[in-house]
Chain A
Amino acid sequence: QKEVEQNSGPLSVPEGAIASLNCTYSDRGSQSFFWYRQYSGKSPELIMSIYSNGDKEDGRFTAQLNKASQYVSLLIRDSQPSDSATYLCAVIRTGTASKLTFGTGTRLQVTL
């Protein structure tokens, strides 16, 4: 079992729709969770972080964390073509200080 799992996609959504990206993790003691956006050929950029169960909203983005189910998700409302990118889920596992473990990413395509 991979430490952080994501569906590779592509996930295709029409412009204006809600995109839902999902991530599961294996270490039940994981503490901090992050979503990064990576455009093709570019480096990842941090878009959301979440540390406690529930929802966290920032503009069009909402991160959701369910530690009991070991599940973290990212919702993108009113999806735009500029949201087309690969979204990486990253987790700080127990006892690893600030080391991030990344999933392989989900490619999102927002269609006109």
Chain B
Amino acid sequence: DGGITQSPKYLFRKEGQNVTLSCEQNLNHDAMYWYRQDPGQGLRLIYYSQIVNDFQKGDIAEGYSVSREKKESFPLTVTSAQKNPTAFYLCASTRGSNYGYTFGSGTRLTVV
């Protein structure tokens, strides 16, 4: 079955450490997105990519980085510059603006 796989499901980060969240899709979608969700909050866009080797900052890109070397993969790195990284991170993809997004199952990141 086609879908989006996010890993790991839970991740613990120490202060000053960079961590990378994986997102892989086999839906053949061009566009991929990273969102962050805090308790009781909506989804906020971190980065997005509409095509391989190209990506744009979203509303809250500071402290995060991404790459898009393959159509199937869009990893997100949470750097030490992100001062409040504890959140639920969601990766999504779409084949176009009239189709909505398909979401992965999410990664819950906690700073320890």
Complex contact B42–A88 (CB within 8 A): yes
Residue numbers in A under 8 Å from B35 (CB-CB): 102
Contact of B100 with A34 in the complex, beta carbons under 8 Å: yes
Residues from chain A with a CB closer than 8 A to the CB of B42 are 4, 88, 102-105
Interface residues on A, range: 20 to 34
Considering the complex, give the chain A residue whose CB is closest to the CB of B97: A98
Whether B74 is near chain A, meaning CB under 8 Å from some CB there, is no
Q: Is the CB of A102 within 8 A of B106?
A: no
B87 at the interface (CB under 8 A from A): no
How many residues from B make CB contacts under 8 Å with A? Answer: 24
In the complex, what residues of A have CB within 8 A of residue B102's CB?
46
A43 touches B40 (CB 8 A): no
The answer to whether A97 touches B105 (Cβ under 8 A) is no
Task: With CB as the reference atom, state the residue of chain B lying closest to A6.
Answer: B42
Contact of A44 among B40, B90, B97, B99 (CB under 8 A): B90
Interface string of A19-60 (1 = CB under 8 A from B): 000000000000110101000001111100101000000000
Q: Known contacts A42-B105, A43-B106, A44-B90; is A104 also within 8 Å of B98 by CB?
A: no
Interface residues of A (CB under 8 A from B): 4, 8, 31-32, 34, 36, 42-46, 49, 51, 88, 90, 92, 97-105
